Structure 1
């Protein structure tokens, strides 16, 4: 779904910087996967390093609108970075990078159980979204799993007393050829289990100076992804639950 908004969470320059960093991290991840596939008899476990590469790339980008980042632990074996920023539209925010496909899988489980780091983060938005709901028909705001805020709703969000304390995901998604094609800013709602798209950054992929023109990036067929690994139950169920 294409987004056309006058007011955005990130400016065009900020958006391009974020997308560039994500692409650099993803390229680093692909380089490692390609190398390990070449040198090892079995290397599917490296699929779980994608988030590390992408988080690390944003951390080392030294973007001036990101105040700090902090290493967090969702479990003994699951680490991620939390980024903090003073945002012109949403006030004081923190955000986490997350694969969109995986987020769609694990967030409903987190909401249903009422626990886990994804649910805890989503609860930050509760007062904010409740205030918004008082100004609009919630059945209109959340008719499907992924929804868009229009400009009028952004005005209401910006006036919310809780707008200085919000959380969102910046998500990324690759196509069947392992090319990143989708990068979005998404706000989770712990009350409904909905994932609300508030800005689509995907158009900045085509304007990035990070290219994947090398032939090796065109020959990624058969490269396993998390979904494939999980389908074969290679990852223990407990580890998957802790990820949420």
Structure 2
């Protein structure tokens, strides 16, 4: 997967942005809980904070961004960059939000994420070995991979940086992935080690404001559990 990875500096910038955005979101939740008699709707703005600070952190790496919209009012940032002369598009999503937005049921309608996932074409697995390890809502597997990619736009690759919030409400895992349309998400690189080297610190006190809450994504994603999370044993062939 080496041809798909970013530099260590870019990885650190992405992770710093995710953590800084999450900390900003927690600060906002705490402030609004003090200011307003009702503030539960702010549970839905976490993604905006994270997108904003990732954009701030990756600007020096040559990433550009544009504001996009999913549905009537859901706004998000879509990042545009180039890796080894190949253009890519990248978004930031929680694992549960990604599961909700990439429906695997036959009757599910295509949306902006399933259309973006088409950029990555169709990956075929050979001799896959199922593992018992469970990665959150994802099923872990190691497989020899080969790919038949069809370009559907000006982009060569579609990345999703995914993050996971644990029971203590801390971001405990971040990964760079290639989502596919058929319920598979291929891990390019586990970015979790960069959390330890980040200057952004989130304390137990910061997390108190959301402790005990159900994540907004959990309320809408439960029926989409069962995604296959793939860690390739060999490099993907173009």
Structure with greater strand percent: 2
- What is the SS of the residue equivalent to 2:100? helix
Measure the CA separation in 2 of the matches of 1:140 and 1:189. 17
Measure the CA separation in 1 of the matches of 2:99 and 2:13. 25
Alignment of 1:138-177 (within 5 A): 140=128, 146=139, 165-177=156-168
* TM-score, normalised by the number of residues in structure 1: 0.74
Q: Mark the runs of 5 or more structure 2 residues left unpaired by the alignment.
A: 222-238
- 2:80 is matched with which residue: 77, 84, 87? 84
Matching of residue 121 in structure 1 with residue 130 in structure 2: no
Q: Aligned-pair distance for 1:65?
A: 2.7
1:189-222 Cα shifts (integer Å, max 9, x gaps): 11x2212222110111111100123734356423
Match of 1:235 in 2: none
Structure 1 residues 62, 170: closer, same or farther in 2, change over 3 A?
closer
Measure the CA separation in 2 of the matches of 1:110 and 1:23. 32
- What is the SS of the residue equivalent to 1:211? coil
Q: Aligned-pair distance for 1:124?
A: 0.9
Measure the CA separation in 2 of the matches of 1:166 and 1:149. 21
Alignment of 1:1-244 (within 5 A): 9-88=5-84, 91-108=86-103, 112-126=107-121, 129-130=122-123, 133=124, 137=126, 140=128, 146=139, 165-190=156-181, 192-213=182-203, 215-217=205-207, 220-227=210-217, 230=220
Structure 1 stretch displaced more, 49-58 or 171-180: 171-180
Does structure 1 retain, via aligned residues, the 8 Å contact 2:89–2:155? no
For these two proteins, the number of residue pairs brought into alignment is 214
- What is the SS of the residue equivalent to 1:113? coil
Measure the CA separation in 2 of the matches of 1:193 and 1:161. 18
Measure the CA separation in 2 of the matches of 1:25 and 1:110. 32
CA RMSD of aligned residues (A): 3.3
Structure with greater helix percent: 1
Structure 1 residues 228, 124: closer, same or farther in 2, change over 3 A?
closer
Q: Mark the runs of 5 or more structure 1 residues left unpaired by the alignment.
A: 232-244
* TM-score, normalised by the number of residues in structure 2: 0.76
